[in-house]
A and B are shown apart, each in its own frame.
Chain A
Amino acid sequence: MRALLVLTVAGGSVAHATLTPLVTIAGVPPDIPLIIVVLLALRRGPEFGSLTGFVSGLLQDAAGGGLIGVQALTKAVIGFAIGVAGGRLRVSQPLVQVPGLVVLTIAEGLARFALLQVFRFPAPFGELMTYVVLPQALCNGFVGAAFVLALTWTQTMRDHFEGSRP
């Protein structure tokens, strides 16, 4: 199980840069590693969330060719925060998941922008939000909801088969 998790997080993060152009929705690529970090943090808590976020962000940075550490930092913080907040929220509702992921993506975008500003990132905030962060936030919301539904369905099926065993 752990090996599968490591493979999912590490492989997924590296694969993101390679395979993202193939999985765009209306030209907008979802941030699948972020979705995975959020889902894992919700299930396993802040420590796991922050570690997962750090590793996936680091690999995403390295694979994507940007400043190494930016996404590692933002995703680690997001993973930690959602891991802490997860116990207090009713996150199994799709109505919570979609806006939740939208808000988290925006938060991650804001954090990334703030961090990059420290390192003299030149892109203007308004355009970045309008053309990059907000469309990706919406995309993440829907893809994340689909992920959760798929996971719930898998879990239900597994429980059903385990329950029917003698």
Chain B
Amino acid sequence: MKIRKVVLLGSLVAACLLLLTLQTRGYGWVAGDFFAVVTTPIQTGLAKASRATFGLWTTYLDWKNVRAENRRLREEVQELRVRALRVSETDDENRRLRRLLAMQENLPLTTLSGEIIAREWGGWIRSLTVNRGRGDNVPRLTAVISPNGLIGRVVDVRPGVSIVQVLTDPTSTVGAHVLRTRTPGIVEGDPRGTLRFKFMARDGASIQSGDTLVTAGQGGLFPRGIPIGTVRAIDNRGAALFHYAEITPAVDYARLDEVLLVTGDSQRDLTAFFPTGG
């Protein structure tokens, strides 16, 4: 039994040595060619299979990475969008406040800035709540303005807040005149939330669409020359005593955030301090 094992090993060793000797004597190609017939197809197949497998694996890893990166980038985009919105909002607020401050400094009036904290826009009442109240010594009927023009008047002063009646409130009336023609009249609010200018027919014959209306300053409630709006259309009522003009307000009341409360009295015409287009 032992001899058989030794003979087997001896044969194998002899075969190897024979092969090696043949190769060193220049007959290597015979053995090489013989084995190549067996090994080459297997190696080719394995190489293809391994390449395909690893290619698949690499593709999967790439896909996974791309997916993760995609998710990360989406989150980043969302974050940047929010940040951009915040920046835009802050920028906008900054611009508004700068304008308000510039106006407050330029106006020959004592004013108090305030922030709108609530709005009543139902139709029965149109008002704004400003965060200035009794503690700030805001008197009732104080005129409220913005850099674009008149907003309304304070109708109620409470601790910490004031209620501002907006010009479009159905019960609001303001004495006004057309800047170009000096035609006097009354600006009234109506339940639709629009403004109209009521004037005597004989005085307003030359009023045109696009004319600017400013406060008349009579009665001492509103300073003279604050823009109210521009004439959009004229409602000619023929022989009637009064005619009406539809007015586009100078201020977009729905989009206001900051206002100025005119706490001091002024006899000066303020037209020059506002953008009237005229």
Instruction: Indicate whether A107 reaches chain B with its CB closer than 8 angstroms.
Output: no
Using a CB–CB cutoff of 8 Å, the interface residues on chain A facing chain B are: 11, 14-15, 17-19, 22, 46-47, 50-51, 54, 58-59, 61-63, 67-70, 72-73, 76-77, 80, 84, 115, 118-119
Query: What's the least CB distance linking A54 to chain B, in Å?
Result: 5
Instruction: Indicate whether B192 reaches chain A with its CB closer than 8 angstroms.
Output: no
Query: What's the least CB distance linking B25 to chain A, in Å?
Result: 11
Interface residues on B, range: 20 to 34
Contact of B35 among A11, A59, A77, A84 (CB under 8 A): A59
Do residues B16 and A14 form an inter-chain contact, with CB atoms below 8 A?
A: no
By a CB distance below 8 angstroms, the chain B residues around A50 are 5, 8-9, 12
Do residues B31 and A72 form an inter-chain contact, with CB atoms below 8 A?
A: no
Do residues A76 and B28 form an inter-chain contact, with CB atoms below 8 A?
A: no
Query: What's the least CB distance linking B21 to chain A, in Å?
Result: 9
| 23 pairs, A vs B, C-beta closer than 8 Å | A15-B46, A18-B46, A18-B47, A47-B4, A54-B15, A54-B16, A59-B35, A59-B38, A62-B38, A62-B39, A63-B35, A68-B23, A69-B15, A69-B16, A69-B17, A69-B18, A70-B16, A72-B12, A73-B16, A76-B9, A76-B16, A119-B20, A119-B24
Instruction: Indicate whether B32 reaches chain A with its CB closer than 8 angstroms.
Output: yes
Query: What's the least CB distance linking B213 to chain A, in Å?
Result: 86
The residue in B4, B31, B39, B43 that gathers the most chain A C-beta atoms within 10 A of its C-beta is: B39
Do residues B46 and A62 form an inter-chain contact, with CB atoms below 8 A?
A: no
Do residues A72 and B19 form an inter-chain contact, with CB atoms below 8 A?
A: yes
Complex Cα gap A17–B35 (Å): 14
By a CB distance below 8 angstroms, the chain B residues around A68 are 19-20, 23, 28, 31-32, 35
Interface residues in B1-60 (C-beta closer than 8 Å to A):
4-5, 8-9, 12-13, 15-20, 23-24, 28, 31-32, 35-36, 38-39, 42-43, 46-47, 50, 54
The residue in A18, A50, A61, A118 that gathers the most chain B C-beta atoms within 10 A of its C-beta is: A18
